[in-house]
Amino acid sequence: MTQRITDKMLQGQVDRINKILGRPLTSYSKDENGNYHPNAGNFHLSWAYGGVELHEMSHTPGCTGIIDVFMCGHGPKRELYNRLTAFIRGLELKNSL
């Protein structure tokens, strides 16, 4: 019997990626005037079309665009969870060298 993948499990994996890479944990920050600004490099979940995918905030100054990290569109939670797990494993292997 396979474990059901929850939204919380996916978010935990994304938070872990952001921490490993030293990236912001949130997509936007609020300044002292109450204005929101994008946090370049932040990884976050995107929900649409009944599925989920991993996005990264653009590093381009003045641009609030995103990058579809795995370039496979919105899909089932389990598929994304497996991709995130592989991504984390790759980061851990690189850091262990």
- Considering the domain boundaries, does residue 49 fall inside one? yes
- Considering the domain boundaries, does residue 10 fall inside one? no
pLDDT (tens digit per residue) in 16-60: 999 999 999 999 999 999 998 889 999 999 999 999 999 999 876
For residue 61, is pLDDT > 80? no
In the chain, the number of structural domains is 1
- Do 55 and 44 touch, CB atoms closer than 8 A? yes
- Considering the domain boundaries, does residue 33 fall inside one? no
pTM of the model: 0.90
For residue 64, is pLDDT > 70? no
Question: Which pLDDT score, from 0 to 100, does residue 71 have?
Answer: 96
For residue 9, is pLDDT > 70? yes
Domain residues for the domain of 85 are 41-97
For residue 2, is pLDDT > 90? no
**Closest among 24, 53, 52 to 37, alpha carbons compared:** 24
- Considering the domain boundaries, does residue 67 fall inside one? yes
